[in-house]
Amino acid sequence: MLRYDLKIGLLPVRRYIKEPPKRIGIFQSDYAVENKREIVAYIKEKYTDGQTQFADIDFLNEEGMLYLDGDCEKVISYFKEQKIDALFIINCNFGNENAAGIVAKNLGLPTLLWGPRDTHFEGGIRYTDTQCGLFAISKQLRRGNVPFSYINNCDLCSGQFDEGLRSFFSVATMLRNFRNLRVVQVGSRIPPFRSIMYNELELNERFGTEVECVNLGDAVQELSRIYEEKQPELDRDLARLKETFDCGALDDEYLKKMLAVVWYYRGVAERYDCNIISGECWTGITSAWGANPCLAMCLLAAEGIYVTCEWDMHMTITNVLLLSASRGKGKPIQGEFTTRNPQNKNSELLWHCGPFPLEYKADDGKKPYLYNTKPSFRLKDGTYTLARFQCDGGKYYLLGGKAETCAGPETFGTYMWVQFCDLDAVERKLIEGPYIHHMTEIPGDYVRELKEFARLSGIEYDAMEE
């Protein structure tokens, strides 16, 4: 099951130089403690919500700060007991690079480093040198092979800090879901779709991806059971469907068989405790069951259950990354590069035969309809992030970019027209690079998060437009 909640371990650190009863001048602890109290209180008050919780180290000493190497094991054990998902190292003066490095290395979690701008200058004395310590801590993290994110040395209440921290929440969510991913695969790749081949063993060995395979014969047996046992529920669903969609000339039996697929995938998601499924949607279910599954993909998105098209595992993983970047607030769209806009040389049709989330339909006054059994409607206007996770020759890439919707000809299926700066260059990148035309989109701009995720995961990031 994908998770979007986070518990962040807050690790305030300061420099310790033994000068009893208290050091005066530079690195005097009073100023570090002042920084710590303000920062931790601010973070907890501003960023705690239903998805985000924090664990501090106030248990450790009167200051609630780490400054002794000998206390590292206590902090590590406590954070493990708290089951934190990520670590935030907060440098409150020059800090303790060794202690910060020990804790981060032993926890092995997504790690963020930041410290506030130095503001304590009195009588020619600097009291904190926070920025200087950030350089030292970063080198210790590198020596410990700890991938980490960084917010530039800035004021606590600045937009730079807010953007950086919220972006880290998204990246930490991406990393956790990616490293613990379990995908249910229904059916097998059909012969024409060689472009979506993937290496299951390599995904497992490199990233821990688990693929649970469901036999298509078993799927059809389950569909038959659902259709036989759930007629009252299917009748109810049919009435709702006709209120929502123009179903044309399709008869009730066929429509209910399509709605049985909704119940089937819902059961798969529950049985395997997952909400991401890689589905075979061309000849298998259609031939064996006698109804297309595209409608189910569209309707299930409203429940947070996502079924990707055409057994494309790399697109399925991309869905997870964008879902995680939005922390579950957005829904992935499977719009493939399809055709150029005849009215605009830098506009492309992002299209697929029905799986887009219905809640993203454009507010154009038109009722969505079933074209050849496939949901059909245009997506609402706005900014969308585009991405594709891809392997080529044993190397993994993450293509990312963003685009604005634009005007274009009306067509069937689920679609949107988007505007690029230089579509020729984008087209050439897809042709010459390792990618295929299948893409995943989500409302909003998550390019920054895609870049940071790729950097921390050892995956090569590739900008869709330079």
CB under 8 Å to 218, separation ≥6 — which residues?
none
Confidence of residue 266 (pLDDT cuts 50, 70, 90): very high
Q: What is the mean pLDDT of the chain?
A: 95
Question: How does 66-103 read in b/e, with b if 16+ C-beta sit within 10 Å?
Answer: bbeeebbeebbebbeeeebbbbbbbbbbbbbbebbbbb
Given this model, what pLDDT does residue 25 score? 78
Domains in the chain and their CATH numbers?
6-179 (3.40.50.1070), 182-463 (3.40.275.10)
Q: Which amino acid belongs to residue 197?
A: M
Q: Rounded distance, CA 31 to CA 333, Å?
A: 49
Q: Which runs of consecutive H residues, i.e. helices, occur in 153-251?
A: 159-179, 200-207, 216-229, 231-244
Share of the chain above pLDDT 90, in %: 89
How remote is the C-alpha of 185 from its chain's centroid? 20
User: What is the reported pLDDT for 19?
Assistant: 67
pLDDT score of 120: 85
pLDDT at 187 over 90: no
Q: What is the DSSP letter of 71?
A: G
Average pLDDT of the residues in 223-237: 98
pLDDT band at 433 (very low <50, low <70, confident <90, very high): confident
The pLDDT score that the predictor gives to residue 137 is 98
Nearest to 385 by CA among 296, 313, 306, 450: 450
Q: How confident is the model at residue 466 (pLDDT cuts 50, 70, 90)?
A: confident
Closest CA to 377 of 246, 248, 272, 285: 246
SS3 category, 312: coil
Using CA atoms of 263, 268, 270, 272 in order, give the dihedral in degrees to the nearest 10: 180
Tens of pLDDT, residue by residue over 13-41, are 999 887 677 777 788 899 999 999 999 99
Instruction: Specify whether the CB–CB gap between 457 and 178 falls below 8 A.
Output: yes
| Lowest-pLDDT choice from 272-276, 283-287, 372-376, 433-437 | 283-287
Q: What is the pLDDT of residues 138-157, one digit of tens each?
A: 999 999 999 999 999 999 99
- Residue 196: which pLDDT band, with cuts at 50, 70 and 90? confident
Rounded distance between C-alpha atoms, residue 54 and residue 246, angstroms: 48
* Residue 435 pLDDT greater than 90, yes or no: yes
How many Cβ atoms are within 10 Å of 22's Cβ, its own excluded?
Answer: 8
In the predicted structure, residue 190 carries a pLDDT above the cut 80 = no
If 0-12 CB within 10 Å is exposed, 13-18 middle and 19+ buried, where does residue 20 land?
exposed
pLDDT of residue 193: 78
Mean pLDDT of 263-277: 95
Q: Which of 186-200, 273-287, 410-424 has the highest mean pLDDT?
A: 410-424
- Stated pTM of the model: 0.96
Mean pLDDT value of segment 355-381:
97
Q: What is the pLDDT of residues 442-456, one digit of tens each?
A: 999 999 999 999 999
Non-local (6+) Cβ contacts of 340 within 8 A are 347, 348, 349, 423
